[in-house]
Structure 1
Amino acid sequence: MLAKIYQPAKSAMQSGQGKTKTWVLEFVPASARWIDPLMGWTGSGDMNSQVTLRFPTREEAVEYAQRYGIPFEIMEPKKRTPVVRQNGYGDNFAFNRRTAWTH
């Protein structure tokens, strides 16, 4: 019943950093999923794969796992490098713009 503790990445459908500040504790699947032959649904006998716990800090997630004796591994987040371009799209709306904006 190994758990992984990580900070989720930004969704491709959002431009902001929402839901990326929290830490998540998820259990690694213990068994493979199978497909039901009649309905085609995916099934599993592992109920822990449905559990997702969110914590404000990494230390709280680690403390929770240690308190309940859950073996875990921590996946460090890869920090996103900001893309700042000179005369980019944001400069069209700059306060100190000298000329009127035109298409």
Structure 2
Amino acid sequence: MIARIFRPSKTAMQSGRARAQEWVLEFAPASARTPDPLMGWTLTDDTSAQVRLSFETRDDAVAYAQKHGLAFQVTEPKAPRRILKAYADNFSADRKQPWTH
């Protein structure tokens, strides 16, 4: 069983970054999920996939995994691509498309 250590991305539903600053350790599923023949729900025998631990820093998460003898994989977060825009650009003279109302 391998543990993934990563920093989750910002949710698309809100503009805040509340839970995007912490590092998360979660376990990769050991077996594939199978559908229940009666209800159609997905079943799994692996309960460790439900465990999700949060840490303040990457080093804390790595230290926890090493202390408990867990094989882990660290995924570094990608830097967000910022597009700088200004309201005045809507009215600039060298605008690609003419401004119409």
TM-score range, shorter chain: 0.7 to 0.9
- SS of structure 2 residue aligned to 1:60: helix
Matched-pair identity in %: 50
Deviates more, 1:76-85 or 1:45-54: 76-85
Query: Which residue matches 2:77?
Result: 77
Q: Structure 2: which 5+ runs fail to align?
A: 89-101
Alpha-carbon distance in structure 1 between the residues aligned to 2:81 and 2:21: 16
Q: How many residues align?
A: 88
Partner AA of 1:44 in structure 2? T
Normalised by the length of structure 1, the TM-score is 0.81
Give, in whole Å, the separation in 1 of the partners of 2:83 and 2:54.
29
How far did 1:84 drift? 2.4
AA aligned to 2:64 is Y
Q: Aligned letter for 2:62?
A: V
Q: Deviations over 1:26-49 (max 9, x none)?
A: 001000000101011111011110
Provide, for residues 34-73 of structure 1, a one-character-per-residue CA deviation record: whole Å limited to 9, x for no partner.
0101011111011110100000000000000000000000
The residue aligned with 2:30 is 30
Q: Which stretches in structure 1 are left out of the alignment for 5+ residues? A: 89-103
Structure 1 stretches (4+) deviating beyond 2 angstroms? 81-84
2:87 match: secondary structure: coil
Question: Aligned Cα RMSD in Å?
Answer: 1.1
Q: TM-score, normalised by structure 2?
A: 0.83
